[in-house]
Amino acid sequence: MIRQTANSVPEERAASRRRRITSAVGTALVGKGSIFLVNAISVPIMVRYLGAVEYGLWATISTTIAMLVYLDIGIASTLTNLISESYAHDDREAAGRYFSTAFWMTSGVALALGLAGWLLWPHIDFAYLLDIRDPALVAEASHAVMAAGVLFLCGLPAGLAARALAGYQELHLANLFSAGGNMLALGAIVLAVMLHGSLALLVGVYAGAILLGSVACLLWVCVAAKPWLRPWPRRVELRLTGRIFSSGGQFFVIQIAGLVVFNSDNLVIAHFLSPGQVTPYNVTWKLANYMTAGQLLLAPAMWPAYSEAWARGDLQWIRKAYGRLRRFTAVTLAASAAVLGLFGQWLIRIWAGSAAAPPESLAWLMCAWMALLAVTTNQACLMAATGRVKRQAISSAVAAAANLALTLCWVRSLGLIGVLLGTVVSYVVFIVGVQMWEVHRILHPVKNEERETGRALPGPPAFPQTDGSTQ
């Protein structure tokens, strides 16, 4: 029998993480690639089919309703860390209790949001909110919002299956279901356009297809792949709700801040400028998102890997992995920013038509924003995985308030540029420095704690490394 050396266990775990990350990234190329494919095909179809005004309403409604996913009070983000912790302990029973409790908590949140929406619905003035003059279009927009809202709420608990798979570092499986939902959404959009469907129908079939992908993933996980995660009501533990709420509350603050940053711009533009002005802004944003494709592929896979490594005390692996990610980000951003800044207008004009072409200044500023977003995404991923989110929550809340204030101040005088400039300035002032400080503290915990307390303190918590077994 070959005896393992003391160093073989962390090396084997590092190799296992690399394999899982590689697998997750490989399938993310399919999952996220399907999103890019859907955008690449559907955006020009819908801009030409709906026109600038109705496409602007489509973009505004879809991004505004997407805000609902952030109203799960941080449960989904907390679940990823809790499942990673259970995986590190090889404790299926704990994982089942966590998932069941999170599932029914999220279902309760969705039900409460649905009830609130039903009560508020008669009092919402869509004509004023979306700056629409045509009564028929007002009715169409209200029906589209209703369809999207109901389907999104149904998707809140179903989406936890992907979070559980992420905690087990099996994100590649969730990516495949996501790809299936995205491709179904593309087919549904094309079919709806061929049948001359209304705006409400387009919104409904798109959101419904995405929901079917999430539900299929949930059923597969709970019935076939990981039956110990089946969310039986009897497995719900009230004492766990406190832990989930405690961590989830901080994630919730960050999510609400993200809601303001990522989902409010289209609504502000539609209200203060016009729905038609949403089209060049949204299409430019979609194209610029290709700059952050690396982060979209890597961040979901890195989060659970960081979390499991942190729980085991493998700080050396975290440092190496984070360093490689920063270098990769720098190279990809430099290349993609040059392409978008120089050829963005031309590409969008060919891709989605002249109505979607942005001012040149907006294209360059969008490059700067996406570069900033990619860097802060890397940092936020590491902070979330290691539970260092308190300062991030505070700074995110301040940045969101500043972003909204600056956007409302500049939108009338600077137009589309003012909307995006408010986002960039608030991030630079309130987010970047805080994140850099926290990341340094994570990567060099002993050095920083000694400086602050004057005595040596241990690094991240470590589990006994005996046999090197992993689930």
Structural domain containing residue 233: 12-453
Q: Looking at the domain assignment, is residue 470 inside a domain?
A: no
pLDDT above 90 (res 132): no
Structural domains counted in the chain: 1
Give the rounded percent of residues in the chain with a pLDDT score beyond 90: 10
pLDDT, residue 10, reads 65
- Residue 455 pLDDT > 60, yes or no? no
Give the SS3 label for residue 304: helix
Contact 240, 98 (CB under 8 A): yes
Indicate the pLDDT class of residue 469, thresholds 50, 70 and 90: very low
Residue 28 has pLDDT above 70, yes or no: no
pLDDT band per the 50, 70, 90 thresholds, residue 268: confident
For the cut 80, the answer to whether the pLDDT of residue 315 exceeds it is yes
Tokens of 115: 């009830």
Average pLDDT of span 416-430: 91
Q: Is residue 458 part of a domain?
A: no
Residues contacting residue 110 through CB under 8 Å, at least 6 positions apart: 153, 154, 156, 157
> Which pLDDT tens digit goes with each residue over 333-342?
888 888 888 8
Distance of CA 222 to the CA centre of its chain: 23
> Are the CB atoms for 381 and 407 separated by under 8 Å?
no
Which ranges of 225-288 does DSSP label H, i.e. alpha helix? Answer: 238-263, 265-272, 275-288
Distance between CA atoms of residues 428 and 26, nearest Å: 32
**pLDDT surpassing 80 at residue 468:** no
pLDDT score at 19: 75
Structure confidence at residue 216 (pLDDT): 93
- Asked if residue 7 is part of any domain, the answer here is no
Q: What is the mean pLDDT of residues 22-42?
A: 69
Statement: residue 33 has pLDDT above 80:
no
271 occurs within a structural domain: yes
Alpha helix segments (H runs only) across 273-389: 275-288, 293-312, 315-352, 360-385
What is the Cα–Cα distance from 270 to 53, expressed in whole angstroms?
Answer: 9
- Tokens 């690094």 label which residue? 459
User: How far, in Å, are 165, 368, 457 from residue 81 at the CA level?
Assistant: 11, 31, 24
Residue 117 pLDDT class (50, 70, 90 cuts): confident
128 found inside a domain: yes
Q: Name the CA dihedral angle for 302, 308, 310, 315, rounded to a multiple of 10 degrees.
A: -70
Instruction: Evaluate whether residue 147 is within a structural domain.
Output: yes
- This prediction's pTM: 0.60
For residue 23, the model assigns a pLDDT of: 67
For residues 74 and 252, is the Cβ–Cβ distance under 8 A? Answer: yes
Q: How confident is the model at residue 62 (pLDDT cuts 50, 70, 90)?
A: confident
**Total residues belonging to the chain:** 471
- Residues 407-433: what's their mean pLDDT? 90
User: Mapping DSSP to helix (H, G, I), strand (E, B) and coil, where does residue 387 land?
Assistant: coil
170 vs 32: CA distance, rounded Å: 16
pLDDT score for 273: 87
**456 confidence band (pLDDT: 50, 70, 90):** very low
Give pLDDT tens digits for 133-158: 788 888 888 888 888 888 888 888 88
Q: Identify whether 4 is part of a domain.
A: no
Q: Is residue 217 part of a domain?
A: yes
Q: Which two tokens stand for residue 252?
A: 């919730």
What is the average pLDDT value for the chain, to the nearest integer?
80
